[in-house]
Structure 1
Amino acid sequence: MKKHFTIMLLLAAAGNLFAQQETAEQQPQTVFSFKSIRSSGFYGALTNASTSINGEYANLGGLYFGYFINQKLLIGVGGAATNTALRVPEANKTISGADLRYQYGHFGLMTEYVMNSNKKVHFAFNLLSGAGFTAQYLDSDRDEKRYKDYSHDTDFFVVLEPGAQVEINLTKWMRLSPGISYRQTIGSDAKGLDDSDLSNVSGNVALKFGRF
């Protein structure tokens, strides 16, 4: 009786082992494995940049946010736009004699590589790649009432802006990052604004919030 009971146990164990092996073999095989990804979470940044557009001082306010992987790589989206009035020369105005200003903005994919993220002071390198736009707009209430339908000369083009920052950990959830970047536009065709007028160096600062 004991011999039969032992044989039954061995058969049951063998069957269980075979079933586990069969289940494992049924698992799909994949090219990529994500076991090495240990997400740190998300963070976002408020940015302010000082630069020159068409020979005039321009200030750009912006933001970006994304998914932070392994405390090294941020993948997200971002954008910025001018908040200063950029004068349109008379020869390039869509309405002669009107008080027109240029508007500039860009948006797209934001990637950022952070070195030694846990240290109090460290470096970060980023790249915004996407699209930019310019347009002319009226800067006075009188002209807005006078000219209701007019051409804004809206133009779209490619933008690439690599940059480098010194990152300072203020708290566990907030960082200050002054830096420098270079904005390169490709394909601008607006009146009075070609790529050489829009491409330039920017001094910038970012205040970052999130789970690092």
Structure 2
Amino acid sequence: MKVQVLNIDGTAAKGDIELSDDVFGIEPRADILHRVVTWQLENRRGIARATRERSDVARTGKKFGRQKGGGTARHGDRAAPVFIGGGKAHGARRREFGQSLNKKLRALGLKMALSSKAQAGLVIVDSLDVADAKTKALAGQLAKANFGKKVLVIDGDAVNDNFAKAARNLIGVNVLPAQGANVYDILKHDTLVLTRAAVEKLEARFNG
């Protein structure tokens, strides 16, 4: 698949780039993309903590009054749920939400996400080099390019420092290195912008 390379402002750059059909030419399947996104989001969740029940509270178990004649109920343990500082009755249990997913399925999901953007919403730029780390200047370039409201920009090993600083305060523009490319972030943005270096890294990641 041959794609024209653009500059960051949307103007045409020199040359085209040949994208691998094994990475960018797969027919996406909604069921696989759903499984990978669910796996990602579930593994983001923290562990649900347990509450301390009667056996977990450090309080005395000594009987603190007479069985009869004291004018109070017959209690033998200060850890009982009826007392302030006692254990929780029927408390929440510890829950872990992490899921496992086959490596091959995770890789296939990322290929399908890239392929779905290649069908509509993929832009290849030469590089992310900008003269200054100025948010206003970058906002003007992106507005001229008309990439959409939500843009994910992926660079090579590391994101261009000036571009990352300039894009930091732009709403709807997110930046990642190639190593951080993932299905959820790719699908939730309108446009995926890849540099030449990012394309090389992503293709090497699957061919290696």
Q: Which has the higher contact order (CA 8 A, sep 6+)?
A: 2
Q: TM-score if structure 1 supplies the norm length?
A: 0.22
More helix by share: 2
TM-score by length of structure 2 reads 0.22
